Structure 1
Amino acid sequence: MRSLRFRSIVAASVALLAASTLSACGGDDDSSGNSKGLENGGKMTVAILGVVDGAGAQIAQQKGLFKAEGLDVNLKIVAKSTDALPALMKGDVGVIGGANLSTFIAANDAGQMHLKVIGEAATLTPNMMSVLVKPDSPIKEPKDLEGKKVAVVIPNNIQVLTMNAILRAKNVDPTKVKYTPVPFAQMGPALEKGDVDAVHVLEPFLSDIQKKQGARSVLDGGSDPVKGVPVSGYVSTKEWTDKHPKEAAAFQRALFKAQALAASDRKQVESVLPTYAKIAPDVAKVITLPGYPTSLNATRISRVVDLMKAQPGLLKNNPDVNSILFTPQASQ
């Protein structure tokens, strides 16, 4: 069943893409030699979500960090990471940024792709992702979510896995929550019209919905026991990284530098959000930001796998986390 679902996602996404046309180590910082050996002038397309998770790539582009590594990167915004799957599998897209890690780990486990994680995009921080309800909603606490429709982007994605872990910690039965797929950009209207009872949404959409609707938070999606879990990453395929090892390594170096800027200086993130996330500068200044990892860490990724293991039927094997992490060779 999981295999069929994955293939259906890919098939459905092909039409959309056709209509719209797309670590642990850092390496040497000698940009004078980084561009040597890069194919096609270092050109590569990166599909990326218009959410806070993608700030690292946007900063790398704005600050010329990709260019300094010899890369000519085309960033293409997509509504959700699975929209870019067909192009990733074909090699037309080299990397998907802000990709839901659990979705791609599950696809790798099912044998539908050979996953390589180039970097972590964002880790959970308190209140960067929350379950919102209308101001007059009868839902007052997490227990009230049982039997209710809650919007998430993709069923069984990291939103669901982390929320389930929080619910279990609060003695709430997550199997009684009716998760409903809704794109982030449509969660506000869906909540306002009553199509769903609640939305599990992240920034910047979270602050936007709260501001426009006066929505209340009934559950902090970044609280214990999932605080610090990587929710998204920059993913590719083994086929692409094997064929373009220098490009992958150069991308990783630039990304880690950009992530360091994002992690150390909030204004770096604020400056790029309005350019790609459709968010006003005044809102960008007040939203809650995620953590921006500056390395690729197997222990952190293992926390995602552990959450997946807690979801019956999501994994059939015990994934070797190190095997899915992209580690460049010293010569690159």
Structure 2
Amino acid sequence: MAALALLVAACGAGGSGGAGDGKGAQVTVAALPLTDSAALYIARDRGLFEKEGLKVRIQPVQQSIQALPALSKGQVDVIASANYVTFLQAYEEGALDIRVLAEGVRVAPHMMDVLVPKDSPLKTAADLKGKKVAVNILNNIQTLTLNAILEQQGAGGPVYRQIAFPQMGPALEKGRVDAVHVVEPFDSAIQDSLQARVLVDGGASPVESLPISGYVTTARYAKQHPDTAAAFRRAIEAASKIAHQDPSAVREELPKYAKVSAAQAKSIGLPAYPAATDPGRLRRLTELMRKQGLLKKAVNPSTLLVK
């Protein structure tokens, strides 16, 4: 709640500044300090937003769900690294009429892992049954993907505990949980600081290449600012193409906005950065959500994409 209050205070005075459309428009973006957000910072630092005539202001936030009220109120224009599960659920419930400007990242091997202490008695995925596992948000992309992996391996489900990524290391060290399901760059940081070991590759089959986050706005904003929305999408897709073709660009960017050293950035597991949004892959995500009860009815992702 404190983080949300800070976000609203930072963005609330005078609105987001996103009034107007096209050249010279200002876009306020709430972003998590994750590898998911790399294209946003590449676009900023390589002048891709400037090339499109945009002025982009980035507001850090620890959980994408924290920025949801600010997005609804127009205090931010876009949420980067927006966890699709959270926002698709909000859409289905009628809490927020979302639109996807651009795809963020897709699952790749070891971009997230289930970590346990080095001396943990847990040795295989099957050992997680009934154990306490930390996730950033309950009933979300981490639980969705890990449940799918465990189901394929015939393993039973754990008991999930909601703990923000920055607090997962201390929680694991103090024994508050048996394992943490954590994304980069926190993944590598916990392995380095605690000598934690990988129990489950969170990017393994059957969830590899599954879209998990994107750049999300509201239908209202997309309708009122079509030129700005299109320009923002072009800049992000150009940056994602750079990230895909040259992973070193991501590794150079990470220390600038995430709590990761240059040395750590050289070895962390990166997600996949798609140059364009694929409705078919998004449909695969919504089908998995329905299977696990996170959506009550089918959602056609194509209707949510900003052209």
Q: Which deviations, in whole Å up to 9, do the C-alpha atoms of 1:132-172 show, x marking residues without a partner? A: 00011111111111111100011111111010000000101
Match of 2:213 among 226, 232, 235: 232
Output the CA distance in 2 between the equivalents of 1:65 and 1:15: 31
Aligned pair 1:223/2:204, yes or no? yes
C-alpha displacement at 1:16, in angstroms? 4.5
TM-score, normalisation: structure 2: 0.94
Match of 2:46 in 1: 63
- The reply to whether residue 280 of structure 1 matches residue 261 of structure 2 is yes
For the pair 1:260 / 2:241, whether they are aligned, the reply is yes
With over 3 angstroms needed to count, the CA separation of the structure-2 counterparts of 1:252 and 1:39, relative to structure 1, is closer
Q: Report the aligned-residue RMSD.
A: 1.6
The alpha carbon displacement at 1:320 in A equals 1.6
Gaps of 5+ in 2: 13-19
Q: For residues 37-67 of structure 1, what are the alpha-carbon distances to aligned partners after superposition, in whole Å with 9 as ceiling and x for unaligned?
A: 7368311100111010000000000000001
2:134 counterpart (120, 132, 151): 151
Of 164, 175, 182, the match for 2:147: 164
Q: Which runs of 5+ in 1 are unaligned?
A: 1-10, 23-36, 328-332
Q: Is the 8 A contact 1:16 1:83 kept in 2?
A: no
Residue of structure 2 aligned with 1:90, choices 66, 69, 73: 73
Q: CA deviation at 1:101?
A: 0.5
Give the conservation status (yes or no) of the 8 Å contact 2:23–2:228: no
Letter in 2 for 1:148: K
Provide the aligned length of Structure 1 versus Structure 2: 300
Q: Distance in 2 between matches of 1:256 and 1:310?
A: 30
Query: For the residues of structure 1 that align with 2:27 and 2:171, how far apart are their CA atoms?
Result: 36
Which residue type is aligned with residue 253 of structure 1?
R
* Aligned pairs (5 A) from 1:126-141: 126-141=109-124
The answer to whether the Cα contact below 8 Å between 2:184 and 2:269 also exists between their aligned partners in 1 is yes
C-alpha distance in 2 between matches for 1:12 and 1:230:
30
Q: For 2:39, what is the secondary structure of its paired residue?
A: helix
Question: TM-score, normalised to structure 1's length?
Answer: 0.87
CA contact (8 A) 1:151 1:196 kept: yes
Poorly superposed stretches of 4+, deviation over 4 Å = 11-14, 19-22
SS at match of 1:45: strand
Verify the 8 A CA contact 2:3 2:62 in the aligned structure 1: no
Greater shift, 314-323 or 218-227, is seen at 314-323
**How many percent identity over aligned positions?**
47
Residue of structure 2 in register with 1:321 after alignment: 301
Cα shift at 1:173: 2.3
**Structure 1 counterpart of 2:79, one-letter code:** I
What is the rounded CA distance, in whole Å, between the counterparts of 1:14 and 1:59 in structure 2?
26
Q: Of 277, 288, 292, which aligns to 1:307?
A: 288
